[in-house]
Amino acid sequence: MQTYKNDFPILKQAIHGKPLVYLDSSATTQKPECVIEAISNYYCNDHANVHRGVYELSERATRLYEKTRKKVQWFINAAHAHEIIFTRGATESINLVAQSYGRSHFKAGDEVILSVMEHHSNIVPWQMLQNQIGIELKIIPVSDAGELEMAAYEKLFSPRTKMVAISHASNVLGTLNPLKKIIEMAHAQNVPVLVDGAAAFSHISLDMQALDCDFYVFSAHKAYGPTGVGVLYGKTALLERMPPYQGGGSMIERVSLEKTTYAELPYKFEAGTPAIADVIGFYSALHYLEKVGMKAIAEHEQALLHYATSKLAAISGLRILGTAKEKVGVLSFVLEGIHPHDIGTILDSEGVAIRAGHHCAMPLMDRYKIPACVRVSFGLYNSKEDVDALMTGMKKVLEVFK
């Protein structure tokens, strides 16, 4: 794969006198020039509020905003554009489903199935429902290799199971979960499935209709797009049965002081002025991904993952967390006797940016009995040379702590 690093202006800088090596794409990806330009162009030429004005500018802004919705629909092969709801991020998308669908469909004692490997954003919204209406959470365990224990999953279903909320990929272990099977098993019990795709969306191609999940959420900023934009995909039949999440402008059909009727999908769930410029910037990110090709991205990241795994595994005392058969380009590890934060600081002095900590997955840290770990995560702009720089940094870590 040719190198795409040149498309990313931020990567052209030096950090502590060394070329920046960005290996934290799971936290957020960097932005290609086309996305930055799209936002700038929009503010220079096309900005007005959407779905309101009768004048040229507003119509132009509305057209660009809605064009992104269609692009997302096409990108994930959703059946309808109105099944694409713009939110502030994957976190807000999950909160929307928990508060809107959950509060209108769950009663005390009803159960939601999650897994140990969930990001806090797919745990806490359900715990809030636990406090608000008394639902119960059932947890799918994870094997030592970092794979969901499917036999245990099957046993968690009961007549009170009302939802399965599961990550597509683990943001720490990299594990790609067997979604098809997870969804089939849930549907066999008439239970809808919400998929947290935040850690998977930018790594693999998606097909909502083939997958048949009921909700799928992701964030633009983890897929080369701007911060502050997320997507909730939901099947029409479910979204139609859900009450609005927030009230305000845009989401109404008619308001009097006595009664309000709500707008149709998707506007029912988009109260207030959205992040117009950033949604429009996301169009360019999707266009960029399309140009590079999701298949090429997946292959490139897999090659880097294997290269880095073999290099790191050769370090004595280093333990890789997550050795699932199917993984996205995420590689976490701990090193005996050296805390992840110290590794992070020393790597930074070599210009290498990685994440150290619990990665918003404290239950998973508890599962592996570690307080924190180092996470290396790849984007399409990374190269073998970046892994080599990481290894030079690791040598320095061992030197400082020898």
Partner 1 sequence: MSELRELYQEVIIDHGRHPRNFGVLENATKQQEGFNPLCGDKIILFVRENDGVFLDLKFDGCGCAISMASASLMTECLKGKTIKEIQDIFNLFHRWVMNETDSDLSQEKLGKLAVLGGVREFPSRVKCATLAWHTLKAVLEGEKLQVTTE
Question: In the complex, which residues of this chain contact partner 1 (CB under 8 A)?
Answer: 337-342, 345-346, 349, 356-358, 362, 365, 371-372, 400-401
Residue in 34, 44, 213, 360 annotated catalytic:
360
- Nearest approach in angstroms of CB 311 to partner 1 is 22
Q: How many Cα atoms are found within 13 Å in the side-chain-facing hemisphere of 11?
A: 22
In the block, tokens 């970046």 appear at 386
In the block, tokens 């162009």 appear at 41
C-beta neighbour count of 383 within 10 angstroms: 17
- Nearest approach in angstroms of CB 227 to partner 1 is 19
- Nearest approach in angstroms of CB 371 to partner 1 is 5
- Nearest approach in angstroms of CB 372 to partner 1 is 5
Q: Which is nearer to partner 1, 180 or 341 (CB)?
A: 341
CA 359 – CA 285 distance, rounded (Å): 25
The question of whether 44 is a catalytic residue gets the answer no
Q: Which is nearer to partner 1, 325 or 402 (CB)?
A: 402
Q: Which of 289, 297, 292, 296 is nearest to 225 (CA)?
A: 289
- Nearest approach in angstroms of CB 350 to partner 1 is 9
Provide the token pair at 166: 């599961």
DSSP-assigned letters across all residues of 244-293:
PSS-SSSSEEEE-SS-EEEPPTTGGG--S---HHHHHHHHHHHHHHHHH-
Q: Which is nearer to partner 1, 119 or 300 (CB)?
A: 119
| Chain centre distance of CA 244 | 23
Q: Which is nearer to partner 1, 281 or 351 (CB)?
A: 351
Q: Which is nearer to partner 1, 76 or 364 (CB)?
A: 364
CB within 8 A of 184, min separation 6: which ones?
none
Active site members = 360
